[in-house]
Copies of this chain bind each other. A is one copy, B any other.
Amino acid sequence: MEQERTEINDLGEFGLIDFLTRNIEIQNASTVLGVGDDAAVIDHFGKQTVISTDMLVEGIHFDLMYVPMKHLGYKSVVVNLSDIYAMGATPTQITMSIAFSNRFSVEALNEFYEGVYAACEKYGVDLIGGDTSNSQKGLVISVTAIGEVTPDQFIKRSTAQKGDLICVSGDLGAAYLGLTLLEREKRIYLDSPTVAPDLENQTYIIGRQLKPEARKDIIEFLQENDIKPTSMMDVSDGLSSEILHIAKQSNLGVVIYEEKIPIAQESKEIALKFGLDPTAAALSGGEDYELLFTMKQEDYDKIVLNEQISVIGYMADISEGAHILTKGGNKFKLVSQGWNAFQQ
């Protein structure tokens, strides 16, 4: 069966927006007015509004050779929601702008929006506006996420205290290893299009790359257990880069232990296969969208039974610098090798 292909031109901009937003159902009482006017309107009922924005560019942040449009739509939303959760806030609305060249069909954009709406539904956020436009080349996505938080209960990066425990959710490095695997399969495919891709047993790391989730559950756990992190951010650029952000902005030093960094068994196995160091993937890989936070030592008992939270080190005096103690007993300076689009 041939796939349908409707040209964007057949709909026009307003027709396209109508088409892509035809099934929107408002989920948040705070959404007073959504898509279809000059702007959307939000009522936050005495809460504070939290805003975050991210841009994703084809060829820089994603490769449509192995990223399905639906996954891309989903991930574009999730990476922004992750920033809202990292403030200790609850995401409530997003705006979505995309620019695309004429190689994209209406069906392709519709798939993208299916992913967008799937993420909106899963996280209970409303799509309230956006913009669609042509581009000269490729796809550019810009998402702004809006959330709410009880006044002054948001959690910054700059408020960690000396002696605080450093915690991270889930496991790290898998998204980078998934990307490495997909890049390898792409090269093999380009060299020999008849070779079937060898992705078996790699669903975990590929899923972590293609369909990341934001740690709503961790924020809920922290709230339910009355744990207020002293600082928090999400791990989008790699653990090392993020820890250095918290250390620098809190004017502190940091010590982390290699053996405490949570890395999935699947990640260790694929790293071994590729001849990569799993710790390096966790420190510098990026795109894990886990939560990195610090908390007072006395809160340790509250998290110790949660297998989704690992204590990996502590905040030290600024004079101690930022170090990792390795399994082999060595001490290395942490450097920001986080994923950096400008050095790729």
Which A residues form the contact surface with B (CB < 8 A)?
A: 8-9, 12-13, 16, 32-33, 36-44, 46, 48-61, 83-84, 86-87, 89, 93, 95, 97-99, 128-131, 133-138, 140, 142, 144-147, 149, 151-152, 154, 156-158, 232-234, 249, 340-344
Query: Nearest B residue to A137 by beta-carbon distance?
Result: B137
CA gap between A97 and B96 in the complex, in Å: 13
Oligomeric state, in number of copies?
2
CA gap between A53 and B93 in the complex, in Å: 13
Since A37-B233, A55-B131, A137-B137 are in contact, a sample of 20 more A-B pairs with Cβ atoms closer than 8 Å, ordered by chain A residue number, is: A13-B340, A13-B341, A16-B342, A37-B156, A38-B84, A40-B52, A41-B49, A42-B50, A49-B146, A53-B97, A53-B131, A53-B144, A55-B99, A56-B133, A57-B99, A57-B136, A57-B140, A95-B144, A97-B142, A134-B342
Contact between A60 and B99, CB atoms less than 8 A apart:
yes
CA gap between A48 and B31 in the complex, in Å: 10
Contact between B48 and A32, CB atoms less than 8 A apart:
yes
Contact between B38 and A234, CB atoms less than 8 A apart:
yes
Contact between A97 and B42, CB atoms less than 8 A apart:
no
CA gap between A22 and B44 in the complex, in Å: 30
Distance to closest chain B CB from A146 (angstroms): 7
Contact between B129 and A51, CB atoms less than 8 A apart:
yes
Distance to closest chain B CB from A97 (angstroms): 4
* CB-defined contacts of A50 to chain B, threshold 8 Å: 39-42
